[in-house]
Structure 1
């Protein structure tokens, strides 16, 4: 009986774009994708940090490129996706990771309209516009896959974080509609909802909130970037070709969804 296993890397030759990839979770995703055989374009607003991260991955022997992008700017998104497609020769996967918090620590009364609009522009509109720009290329792939980064804060209603929580709730809802609309093109769309991950972007979070997460998780320890990468790898791989419109909470059991 022939073997059903393969020694090929999980994402061999997959062409994947990761936004918000210059540091933190995005960089961890890019690193893991490369380690599993993917060819990756890292996109980020922070051009100098982006190039340093790309150089780091190249030094490890990975096939990577970097493209600056501002996901709040439609023209910047169009240019970024065009460059990514040219560099990779097409597109098989997209990780919508770019996001900002900005509203952290402000109550509903303290939150200003400008901050609300900025968070929505980046986290919600940016996810939509990047997806829209990538859709025709993912459709041509025949095995396109999109992973949207949500947050478990949208599942438990983290206080003093209203704009961010609302934006991530919108990403979860968008994921379901996108899955239905893009399914005709054989594109899967799923969302990952990490808990509070120990990365640069969460350094502003009060120590008491970090302790709350650790103490109330089923797995009582800090969450690290590598704890999230496996879910992203799975969702982009052929293992998940019949999984779409789903939300996977990856938070050590802080929220069980």
Structure 2
């Protein structure tokens, strides 16, 4: 009976043409897998080429991997054009790819190179992805963008300044882009996850994970699936009148 209910509930994003950045592993891979399971066509990009190809092969004909480096503006343009050509257009963009690089350092310990690298990928890369996708999204009747921010930008996590600042910029961009793109019927929202147990957070000390668990209203570890549901909702028709919003998804560690 439970399986039948799941089947009936699936398909909210059937035939949607979705781009996902940073989709080779972790949160991004979960987005790609659940989107495909819901019937969407997905093209995802990453700098992790071997992992990306393996995931695409495993998920089947409606999922394709294209190499993408958000630090390279030309790579972004090539990626979006390839995705639009393969799917016949683009209905949605999930800006998930990001780097940290600044973890554990105080503000006065950061190098210019680290700061610039984080900003180039997380801020400039997100902006350029939105701009590259815009001509295709304008042609869609159900266009949406979901930017993956971070709750660290809401509560101000220490020893992570470049990343926190970059995710604060993503939140600010989300609001501004929502006003600009709204004229074309495109929704732009952000999801701000808490510390999620995926490959990219394996470096985080155990005490930081414990701090999060203890501070949450729902006191447990956060996994990728906790974030995927809200992202898929914001891409769906159920959220067509939701735009410019930032949704913390962290079990109540931060509350709006």
Give the structure-1-normalised TM-score. 0.95
Q: Provide Cα deviations, 1:150-197, integer angstroms capped at 9, x if missing partner.
A: 000001111000000000000000000000000011000000000000
Q: Provide Cα deviations, 1:96-141, integer angstroms capped at 9, x if missing partner.
A: 0010000000001111110000000000000000000000101101
Partner of 1:83: 82
Worse overlay, 191-200 or 30-39: 30-39
Query: Is the Cα contact below 8 Å between 1:11 and 1:36 reproduced in 2?
Result: yes
SS of the residue corresponding to residue 253 of structure 2 reads coil
Q: In 2, Cα distance between the equivalents of 1:136 and 1:142?
A: 13
Partner of 2:57: 55
Q: In 2, Cα distance between the equivalents of 1:202 and 1:143?
A: 33
Partner of 2:45: 43
Question: After the TM superposition, which segments of 4 or more aligned residues of structure 1 sit over 2 Å from their partners?
Answer: none
Say if 2:179 is the partner of 1:177: no
Partner of 1:131: 130
Query: Is the Cα contact below 8 Å between 1:142 and 1:185 reproduced in 2?
Result: no
SS of the residue corresponding to residue 79 of structure 1 reads helix
In structure 1, stretches of 5+ residues that fail to align are 1-5
Q: How far 1:7 sits from its partner (Å)?
A: 6.9
Q: How far 1:205 sits from its partner (Å)?
A: 0.5
SS of the residue corresponding to residue 147 of structure 1 reads strand
Q: In 2, Cα distance between the equivalents of 1:242 and 1:11?
A: 16
Q: In 2, Cα distance between the equivalents of 1:251 and 1:55?
A: 31
Partner of 1:118: 117
Q: How far 1:49 sits from its partner (Å)?
A: 1.1
In structure 2, stretches of 5+ residues that fail to align are 1-7
Q: How far 1:8 sits from its partner (Å)?
A: 6.9
Q: In 2, Cα distance between the equivalents of 1:7 and 1:43?
A: 28
Give the structure-2-normalised TM-score. 0.96
Partner of 1:157: 156
Superposition pairs for residues 1-257 of structure 1, below 5 Å? 9-58=11-60, 63-257=62-256
Aligned residues: 249
Partner of 1:3: none
SS of the residue corresponding to residue 163 of structure 1 reads helix
Q: Provide Cα deviations, 1:6-59, integer angstroms capped at 9, x if missing partner.
A: 87710010000000000000000011111111110011111111101111212x
1:7/1:116 CA distance change after superposition, 3 Å: closer
